[in-house]
A and B are shown apart, each in its own frame.
Chain A
Amino acid sequence: MRLTWCSRRLLLGGFQFSCRTLSQAARAEPAPSAGQAGPWHLYTAVCLQRLPVVAPPLSEMERRFTALLRQLEFERSLKSSHEIRHEMDIATAEALRASEGDDPDLAEAASLQTAADFEDACAEELAGFEPAPTVTEADRAGDQRSLQRRLSSRLVLVVQQRLGAGTSWMLPQGRHQDGATLRQVGRGAAGDTPRQTAEQTLQAMVGPNVNAQFLGNAPWGFYKYKYPKPLQQESGAIGGKVFFYKAVLRGGPVEPVADRVADHRWLTAAELGGQLRSGYRRAVHRLLIDHD
């Protein structure tokens, strides 16, 4: 039936369709679950990541196998022109020694730059180049506010956000104001989409000059928490539902805004555990790639 077909397509996700016809066809917005009187506040949080700058060093297994592959490639290859030239240089030197310096042509040929000389000159030129170190100052100092730390891992931005009187370590989070009174299908005139809220949240927390590319319109993770009793009575909501959005840092300065954010850190997936509360950390961990 048409209703089920529509719902199935929605659940598969990602197809472009007209919200209007579907919302008319499927007025199946589920009733609030029993036992919870009152609405939930919606929040969007941003998981801003700095992608790895440097490839991680080869593991033991990888090193051994790379050596084997190099060996095989060498054995199956033909000699290069450089090698041929090197062999000819050796032959010339031999012939020169045998003829004891009588032949002027051989002497001339031997006086040109040999392949070995050329190799040495190249090696010298390479030694003159100083690559940037993969283990930086920030690594040695353990400066968790620096983006130059742990260049072979992904880093996630975690902020000490001011909430009411106190602060809490979390991913940058902002309240989603839905245009409940002016409810229109899709993007209401008064309301933003959750992704737009996420973008505004990020700019409000870390400044407008940050260049972050958001990964899609759909949230990547979910976390639900209840407000403490006094706050429940004050705000009229049971708690908050947080939807996480992923973004990749493309550049631009990250300047935490002082009145929203007391402190910030760039942490790897493994280090998040030390900073975030357990339930929240689990929700964040589920949407991260944590190889490194």
Chain B
Amino acid sequence: MALSLGLSTVQRLAANVLDMSLSRSLCALTISTRRDISTSSAAAIAVSHPLCAEPLKKKKRIDPAVVRAREERRRRKLEKAIRRLEKSSRQLKPLAEMELPREVRAELSERRRPARPLTTEEANERFDLMKEWTRHRREQHVADVAVLRRIQESRAKALRELRAESFELYCAAIEEDPDLVPWAHSGPTLTPPIDGYDAPDGDYVDTTRRWE
């Protein structure tokens, strides 16, 4: 109808409006108005290259209950997956150095020592020695605590006196010292180091694998 009327403007018409068989590809239909005088109105119609697009589907309204059910299912699935992973992380991993080597485990029967039963005197001696040791260690601990307390009190007194003397100096004294931590010290050895010692084995390089 519009064609026969001969419209003055250039219009693009969707193909599916004119012809349902062209619904796969959208072609732009143009009606040129340059040639107003023509023997056939069909000459003014030209079809462009297919644009290969579909119009957007009409959005169907989904029941909110269905939506909620879907969300719930998705959440439950994720939680299950998380629980499975966490269970794996809670399991204790075997330490290679804490297990018996394969070869030793195979010969376990030959490797066991014959059990030598203890006499009563020996058992009593061991028991008494362990008790004595516990007492000795406790005394050491009590002495350590006394020493530490004495040193702490000396420091508290020094800080009190410093505060009484000068508040600014006290402020400076109780600031954190960033160089103090981490503290590193290679502790006492059994024998003192030998000056200029050349180890015949060479140097030891620590090749422990670290996972960090």
* Chain A residues, Cβ within 8 Å of B155: 218-221, 287
Q: Indicate the size class of the contact surface on chain B.
A: 35 or more
Chain A residue at minimal CB-CB distance from B154:
A286
* Residues A16 and B175 in contact in the complex (CB < 8 Å), given A183-B168, A289-B151: yes
* Residues A286 and B150 in contact in the complex (CB < 8 Å), given A185-B168, A218-B173, A219-B159: yes
**Is the CB of B165 closer than 8 A to any CB of chain A?**
yes
A186 to B168, CA, bound (A): 5
Whether B168 lies near A188 (C-beta < 8 A) is yes
**Is the CB of B166 closer than 8 A to any CB of chain A?**
yes
Proximity bits, A219-250, B CB within 8 Å = 1, else 0: 11110100000000000000001011000100
* Residues A53 and B161 in contact in the complex (CB < 8 Å), given A19-B171, A221-B155, A287-B154: no
Proximity bits, B160-176, A CB within 8 Å = 1, else 0: 01111111111111111
**Is the CB of A134 closer than 8 A to any CB of chain B?**
yes
**Is the CB of B194 closer than 8 A to any CB of chain A?**
yes
Chain B residue at minimal CB-CB distance from A40:
B165
A-B contact pairs, 19 of them (CB 8 A): A14-B176, A23-B171, A52-B188, A53-B188, A61-B133, A79-B113, A132-B192, A134-B192, A178-B169, A184-B168, A185-B168, A194-B169, A217-B176, A218-B173, A219-B158, A221-B154, A221-B155, A241-B161, A286-B150
* Chain A residues, Cβ within 8 Å of B176: 14, 16, 217
Contact among B100, B147, B154 with A291 in the assembled complex (CB-CB below 8 Å) = B147
* Residues A132 and B194 in contact in the complex (CB < 8 Å), given A19-B168, A77-B113, A186-B168: yes
**Is the CB of B177 closer than 8 A to any CB of chain A?**
yes
Q: Indicate the size class of the contact surface on chain A.
A: 35 or more
A199 to B212, CA, bound (A): 38
Binding site for B on A (CB under 8 A): 10, 13-16, 19, 22-23, 29-30, 40, 42, 51-55, 61, 64-65, 68, 75, 77-79, 84, 131-134, 136, 151-152, 178, 183-188, 191, 193-195, 213-222, 224, 241, 243-244, 248, 283, 286-291
**Is the CB of B93 closer than 8 A to any CB of chain A?**
no
Whether A286 lies near B190 (C-beta < 8 A) is no
Whether B189 lies near A286 (C-beta < 8 A) is no
Whether A187 lies near B113 (C-beta < 8 A) is no
* Chain B residues, Cβ within 8 Å of A183: 168
* Chain A residues, Cβ within 8 Å of B112: 78-79
Contact among B147, B171, B175, B192 with A290 in the assembled complex (CB-CB below 8 Å) = B147
A52 to B192, CA, bound (A): 10
Chain A residue at minimal CB-CB distance from B180:
A216
Whether B190 lies near A221 (C-beta < 8 A) is no
* Chain A residues, Cβ within 8 Å of B158: 218-222, 243-244
A220 to B161, CA, bound (A): 11
Contact among B136, B159, B169, B188 with A54 in the assembled complex (CB-CB below 8 Å) = B188
A178 to B173, CA, bound (A): 14
**Is the CB of B36 closer than 8 A to any CB of chain A?**
no
Whether B162 lies near A53 (C-beta < 8 A) is no
Given A23-B167, A248-B185, 14 extra CB contacts under 8 A: A10-B170, A15-B174, A51-B185, A53-B188, A55-B188, A75-B116, A78-B104, A84-B110, A186-B172, A194-B169, A217-B172, A218-B155, A286-B151, A286-B153
* Residues A185 and B171 in contact in the complex (CB < 8 Å), given A53-B189, A53-B192, A286-B153: yes
A241 to B157, CA, bound (A): 12
* Chain B residues, Cβ within 8 Å of A241: 161, 165
Which 7 A/B pairs are nearest by Cβ-Cβ distance? A193-B172, A19-B171, A131-B191, A286-B154, A219-B158, A222-B158, A78-B111
A150 smallest CB distance to B (angstroms) = 12
